[in-house]
Amino acid sequence: MGRFRSVFLVTACLVLAQVSGIVDALDRYADSKRFELAQRPATGQVVVIEIDPKSLRAIGVWPWPRRIHADLLDTLVAAGFTEIALDIDFSQASAEADDLVLEQALANAGGAVILPAFYQLDSARTLDPRVILTKPLPRFSQHAWTGIVNASIDANGETRSVFDGVYADGEYYPAMSEILTGWTSDTLDRLAIDFSIHPDTIPRLSYSDVLNGSVNLAKYAGAKIIVGASAIELQDRFNVPVYQVVSGPVLQALATESILQDRLVTRPGLLIKFGGGILIILIFSILVPVAHWQQERFLFPGLMLLVELSAILMQGKLAVSLPTSAWHICFISFYILSALRELDFREIKVGIANMKSRNTERVLSQIMADSFDGVIIAEHRGPILAMNPAGQRIIFGGEELDVVSHSLAEVLPDTFAPSVLTAVEEATSGSPGKPVVREIEIHDDNKNAYIELVAAVSVLDGTPPAKIVTLTFRDVTQRRQAELVAEFAAKEAIAASQAKSNFLASVSHELRTPLNAIIGFSEIMKSSTPIVDVSSYTEYADHIHESGSHLLGVVNSLIDVSRIEADGFELHEEMVDLKDLVDSIGRIVSGWTQAQEKRISYHVGPENLTLICDRTTTRQMLLNLISNAIKFTGEHGIVELRCRVRTNGDLEMVVSDNGIGISPEDVPNVTKPFFQVDAELARQHDGVGLGLAIVSGCARAHGGEFSVESVPRVGTKARIIFPQSRIHRKEAAAA
């Protein structure tokens, strides 16, 4: 094979590999593998505080009020941290009070804080969107540094570097990692991250743990702090080499660690990549005799191994990523050329034909083995011919059984056998090629699994024709559960609509009745002659006052529920003597007309306790429960208020009655606003269904719990639990 021919062929292979993207793909793969081989720990000088799912559950739905971030800054500054980067967008104004608190916290930090700036499209909906630099509000940036946090994403969607400093609007904005390390680049290029630094070695703290003081911050004294989102739902995630996906703050931490360890990766340009390939082509086509390298074919694998070992060493020691793929393609091309010289093309064709024949069964077996669906092939009413691993996993739970040569009826477990055998018979009795589809529901360890079964029959030529059954199993549990969730959501929507209708009916009834009374009596008084019996005016005024008070009570209940649901319910706490509280409730209840024919008892217990609570709210909770108990017990009913200290130290207040009770399906709903067990327009009892919702909300506001237990026609127990921290014994105080 001539020299110039080899030059042409190898160069053509190199150009084709570059144009098709093979060279760049192999370079990225090799780069990632070298990072994986040379993994190293982080320095511990960078700490990430994550806005993780735990923090979202503890603090609330994102975005949080900015006073939360101000509290975190105050905590970190008080702990002595002087380098704090907040990877959180502060480019838009929020509530003025919260923004003012955050501005003050930034000012108190004295320049210790770095806020993010980032490039983004000004609108994704326009045909020609502009790229703009989004910066923190001036009121915040005047007290803090501003750092760029953009990451570079390459053609295959991976992030391998972050932005260096940029010039915008006549100002220079360094990268966030540069500000944290005090390092400055003069290239205005990208900062290539060293992914041999393992992200799991970077200390990570939960935002909520730091905020509530459960983390010993002294352990991380002197560290650089990066605060940002790691929860998946906040979508600050990046695809990276080796570790698949990392969060935005972890990516910034890796960039900072790369600078601290002097490990910013250097990637030589096209000159090194293709210059080396051209040099190899010149050496083995011009300088080295063709016969020599064609006879010594094992020279090329050795050279490839030597080149790759050198690249691994340079990347591990010097953080230099050599683009060796173009060189390897040249070596492989020369290797193939040397092998082709000794092969006859006719022998190649014969070998390929034989290989196809030998590999047909292997290919089919591999396809079945790689299939995500479980597959069983069997003769109709005969033995099983084949079963793939997915079928073993789905049907037998991963246990490998030798099922070949056994019939379906012999090996299938009871959970599958009836449905499978019925589907097989139906498929074989129908038209060939027409599949039968079934869904099998499996109950196992209180969990439901749903398997989709497809049975198809193929008829093979012969005397008589053979029927081969192909069974395909697919786990559709997630899809089925999604359908069930959708059905449940539809039912919830219907229930919400019904609740709205009930609420409108209840409120219109409760508001219209007293308003009609007020308007009616006032019209009577307005149209009366000047000389009227004073007692009549007094009676009318009493009716108007009673109706107005009832109307005010309904409106106050609506306002209380609204404040509770909006977290705007404020407690005015004080030390309240429990016995005095219960005695005052007894005095109030004794004046109720409807309570006169009931037997009501109060039990405080032997302890002399005081309770830290909102006196008015607590009294109203108990009065609501006693009022409900009186309302739903018949004549001579029994109502009891009992207070006791539980074994765990919590205070339990129970209002019980022997009234009509509540059905089991209604008990979970009684604390929902506007829910009424008797929701018909012609209901027997007044009210809009807010009493127990208010009790539940007030109990939660005290850090306690509220629950209801009831048995129809036996009675109801309503229980309020106050935590131990709110109980104070008088004897302990005296001691």
Residue 506: pLDDT over 70: no
pLDDT of residue 735: 38
Size of the chain in residues? 735
**In sequence order, which residues have a C-beta less than 8 Å from that of residue 57 and are 6 or more positions away?**
none
Distance between CA atoms of residues 128 and 615, nearest Å: 63
pLDDT over 80 (residue 496): no
Weakest mean pLDDT among 148-152, 257-261, 493-497: 493-497
Report yes or no on whether pTM surpasses 0.85: no
**Does the domain made of 569-734 have the CATH classification 3.40.1160.10?**
no
For residue 161, give both structure tokens. Answer: 């570097």
Task: Tell me the per-residue pLDDT of 278-330, one tens digit each, with 9 for 90 and over.
Answer: 888 888 777 665 545 555 557 778 888 898 899 899 988 998 999 999 888 88
> If one looks up domain 373-475 in CATH, what number appears?
3.30.450.20
pLDDT of 99 higher than 90: yes
Q: Choose between 657 and 550: higher pLDDT.
A: 657
- Assign 734 a pLDDT band (cuts: 50, 70, 90): very low
Place of tokens 């104004």: 93
Top-confidence range, 144-153, 357-366, 409-418, 472-481 = 144-153
Give the pLDDT confidence score for residue 562 in this predicted structure: 54
Task: Give me the pLDDT at residue 732, please.
Answer: 47
Q: Which 3-state string (H, E, C) describes 312-342?
A: HHHHHHHCECCCCHHHHHHHHHHHHHHHHCC
Fold match between 373-475 and 483-563? no
> Residue 18 has what pLDDT?
86
Query: What residues have CB less than 8 Å from 256, skipping those under 6 apart?
Result: 46, 176, 177, 180, 181, 224, 226
| Amino acid sitting at position 59 | I
Q: Render pLDDT for 574-607 as a digit per residue (tens, 0 to 9).
A: 999 999 999 988 888 887 767 767 888 999 876 7
Q: Average pLDDT, stretch 412-429?
A: 82
pLDDT above 70: residue 39: yes
Distance CA 385, CA 367 (A): 16
Is the model's pLDDT at 688 over the cut of 60?
Answer: no
Distances (CA, A) of 714 to 89, 333, 687, 710: 58, 89, 23, 8
Q: Give the model's pLDDT for residue 451.
A: 83
- Residue 517 — pLDDT band, cuts 50, 70, 90? low
| Whether pLDDT at 340 is above 90 | no
- Confidence (pLDDT) at 92: 93
Average pLDDT, the chain: 81
- Per the DSSP assignment, residues forming a β-bridge with 85 are 114, 226
Which of the pair, 418 or 716, is modelled with greater confidence?
A: 716
Query: Judging by DSSP bridges, how do beta strands 113-121 and 84-86 pair with one another?
Result: parallel
Q: pLDDT of 178-234, one tens digit each?
A: 999 988 876 667 899 999 999 999 999 999 999 999 999 999 999 999 999 998 888
pLDDT of residue 555: 60
pLDDT of residue 655: 93
Dihedral angle over CA of 387, 389, 393, 396, nearest 10? 40
SS3 533: coil
Contact 673, 683 (CB under 8 A): no
**Mean pLDDT lowest for which of 278-282, 435-439, 543-547?**
543-547
How large is the angle between the packed helices 270-282 and 3-19, nearest 10 degrees?
160
pLDDT tens, 134-155? 999 999 999 999 999 999 988 8
483-563 maps to CATH 1.10.287.130: yes
Q: Domain map of the chain by residue range?
A: 3-27+268-340, 41-260, 373-475, 483-563, 569-734
